[in-house]
Amino acid sequence: MSDDLVEPVDTALRGQGEGLADQAARAVLAYRDGDPAPLAALVQVMTPLLWHTVRAQGAGTEQAQDIVQNVWLALVREIETIRDPRATLQWTLVTAKRAAWRAVRRSREEAARTDSDEAATEWLTAPADELPDARAVRDERDRVLWDNVRSLPERCRRLLGLVAMVDRPDYAVVSQALGMPVGSIGPTRGRCLAKLRAALAADPSWSVS
């Protein structure tokens, strides 16, 4: 495991309490000591975040499942060489994002070569843009929120969709793993969340709902 992309994590996390980054660090240490249970628990809580990270890059559902599983396998294979266990969360996110990016690029090249209209347009569908079904939209506030999120620039949509998957201590790690500048979110709101707040404040259906 390379340490080149992990340097700012410690500072970003210090003093922000327990989060996924801490849980991941403990799971790696326990696994090395012969106890796989904390890693199994980590797989449960962290797989949704990895899933949406991969999907946000445009990977298809089959492709995304393989990528997420391979990220976990890669982590276990390299677990003895991890120098800073506290960088585990960021490492897995960056690994997932890069693997998805490579897979999507291959699919696009493949689609361009075969000139299949269906395959060529499939990746254009950003999964996060599809409307959840009626059950998921619990009330008017959910609907207004979703509409306003969809109006944000794509980078902000991706960032907020993924940051939403974690608790406050992990905001900075998630945004850095996505390649967003330091301070994109947490401890202050950052511009994406600020844009969303401004849009909601200006939306009459949000204030009455």
Query: Which residues lie near other proteins (CB under 8 A)?
Result: 36-37, 39-41, 43-44, 47-48, 51-52, 55, 61, 65, 68-69, 72-73, 76-77, 127-128, 130-133, 135-138, 141-142, 145-146, 149, 160-161, 163-165, 168, 171, 185-191, 193-198, 200-201
The residue (of 61 and 205) whose beta carbon lies closer to other proteins is 61
Q: Taking Cα atoms as reference points, which of 67, 92, 69 lies closest to residue 1?
A: 92
3-state SS record for 52-103: HHHHHCCCCHHHHHHHHHHHHHHHHHCHHHCCCHHHHHHHHHHHHHHHHHHH
CB 53 within 8 A of CB 96: yes
Q: Smallest gap, in angstroms, from Cβ of residue 116 to other proteins?
A: 24
172, two tokens: 């900075």
Q: Smallest gap, in angstroms, from Cβ of residue 43 to other proteins?
A: 5
57, two tokens: 């890059």
The residue (of 5 and 41) whose beta carbon lies closer to other proteins is 41
The residue (of 63 and 90) whose beta carbon lies closer to other proteins is 63
